[in-house]
A and B are shown apart, each in its own frame.
Chain A
Amino acid sequence: MTLLRAKDLTKRFVSRGPLGAKAAFTAVDRVSFDVRLGETLAVVGESGSGKSTTARMIAKLLEPSEGTLEFEGEDVTRAKGAALARFRGNVQVVFQDPFSSLNPRHTVERILMAPLVYQGIAPHGSRRAHAKELMERVGLDPDHSLRYPAQFSGGQAQRIGIARALAVNPKLVICDEAVSALDVSVQAQVIELLRRLQHESGFSYVFIAHDLAVVRQIAQRVAVMSKGRIVELGTTAQVFGDPRDEYTRTLLAAIPRIDPEWERRRRERA
């Protein structure tokens, strides 16, 4: 079942020079894809590929210049008011930098309950109990619900960001470079957490990233973007195992690898 459908999404940024001279830059050029219920679709690309602009458009944080966005069959491209609020209750975002996307002056409890307040949803039981339940789900110590973001490590702060996204029980979570800023050991744990949460709750991810190796661990389908366009969209096995586009092949070839001989020897010892 299709949850979200982007059709010919286009974003042009117009910069105005002196005397109103215009220069248009097409950041995203007629991008189309579906996100099915319960799946993870990754959007990968290098800087300037348009992946983040695409993420912001499907999260309705940015209005597309052209194209349509459907959610559960309903056109939400220009949704306002109640329709937009409903959309926000179904689609949540986890951002790259956990610290700058969490209010440093609010306790974790207040941060986690904020989406419920905006949506007018009653918490399960008390606010405190609901916040603690969310913290437990993402592997945080529920006794820390009255702490402030600065009292957590980077990986823990990102777990708070994930818990906040889950507070309203969304059907789609957009992860915009959600694990890029983390150390590898922490990154592995957060990826594991994201997979477990999806397994438990059955929501979908749109996973925006530049790191193909990370994407490969979590996505069922991958869209490769370059210069504002999707150059290749297929299953993870196809895109990584049998890339059809020249750019995808270049991208895959550029990833640094540990000498396979060393890898084999290490695994034999383990």
Chain B
Amino acid sequence: MSPKKLNLKDKYKLLTRDLDWEFSYEDRKEAFPYEEFEGIKITDWDKWEDPFRLTMESYWKYQAEKEKKLYAIYDAFAQNNGQTNVTDARYVNALKLFLTGVSPGEHAAHLGFAFTGRQMGGIGARVAAQMQSIDELRHIQTQIHAMSHYNKFFDGFDEFNHMHDRLWYLSVPKSFFEDARTAGPFEFMIAIGFSFEYVLTNLLFVPFMSGAAYNGDMATVTFGFSAQSDEARHMTLGLEIIKFLLEQHEDNLPIVQKWLDKWLWRGYRLLTLVAMMMDYMLPQKVMSWQEAWELYFEDAGGALFKDLERYGIKMPDYTDTIKQEKEHLSHQAWWIFYQYTHAAAFHTWTPSAEEMDWLSEKYPDTFDKYYRPRWELAAEMEAKGERFYTTGLPQLCQTCQIPMAFTEMSDPTQVVYRESIYNDERFHFCSDPCKSIFDNEPEKYVNAWLPVHQILQGNCGGGGLDKVIEYYHLEDGVANLDFEGSPDAERWKDWKGVA
């Protein structure tokens, strides 16, 4: 007779919890040196509950199955010249932004979870963080593999790693993850595990990837959804960590609330790039940024915060600002890139008449009033051969590093300027939350590597814009400037047999 099969709960207990050991001859505190310095109090790690009872054995089994499915689609995509079947070559620019801006973040998350997977004292949390660390490594690898096919046919992919460390707009995601990784293990878990994974990644991976499918890009939708299937596990880890910290000790509440306030805003600002990708960069639109925000943040996030109320957690008080900004965000962001596309590794364009009608329909209170006239003027200037570029360098927010272009919601024609003085030096911010994040930890944010400051100090290739572009490894007239007239556009016309 074969022995009785273990049930899920027992199997999980034996293959996870039982992997831990007692510290008999070493001081436990020395083994986990970061566990106390953030002020978090843990009384009993055994109270940690893993909702997904995944053992390493099952983890490898299911991950292997996901990979097989994923790579079969990559192969089919490449063998069938899938790149010629996307709706419009403009679409590929969203992928360039994804590879240069998002994928290196997966790698940063891999490193971050490796750190927390070592430093948290509880075995359940350590195992989950280690699985997530491996997942994140899988994500950057599958993303690079998917994009390597596009790299054969389009400009702007080849130097993604070099660019991530240098380009002005890529310092936004880079500094976001560096901020999280230089925090302690618990802040990292609230920053990336909870705020980013649980509350915000749906916005990146679900509607945008559904949009990729809608635009004929099977490779991207597949890595997106394959990554997101890991994400469901990550979200659960994020929710578990916040509940665990709040249940362990009441003194943890104010610390956790402060981290939440900080990281939901940091994450939201980062998603500005996604807002713009959804509203402006997908030729076939699935849903607007505003609709996605309402479904995945206001609805799903609202239910979550209602559940966390029992612990004394409150929705951050800037949520009203976000609610108002959802009607402006993507338009203001695309305008930033339109003005500075000469220094960007992807192409821009003015929205077509049809696209503007879609934007008017989706943003009835703001698009026609504030943004349509601007795009019409830009298109008119373009037609006259007077394409508008901003040649100066923008002021950057000291916290989120985005150019200061967001406006007051009480007057959407007025740019927000906030400032703080620290050690007799003046620092600038795009918003009240970015200012208060700085004011809480000024000694951290004064060290920010702000691309514009670095350019002006001569640290980015020296002299003029031509030198900076060279330092970025951008070949002028190839991966930058407008889509119209680019080598990408010419190749696309050639494939499609259009004159």
A and B associate? no
Residues of A participating in the B interface, judged by any CB pair closer than 8 Å: none
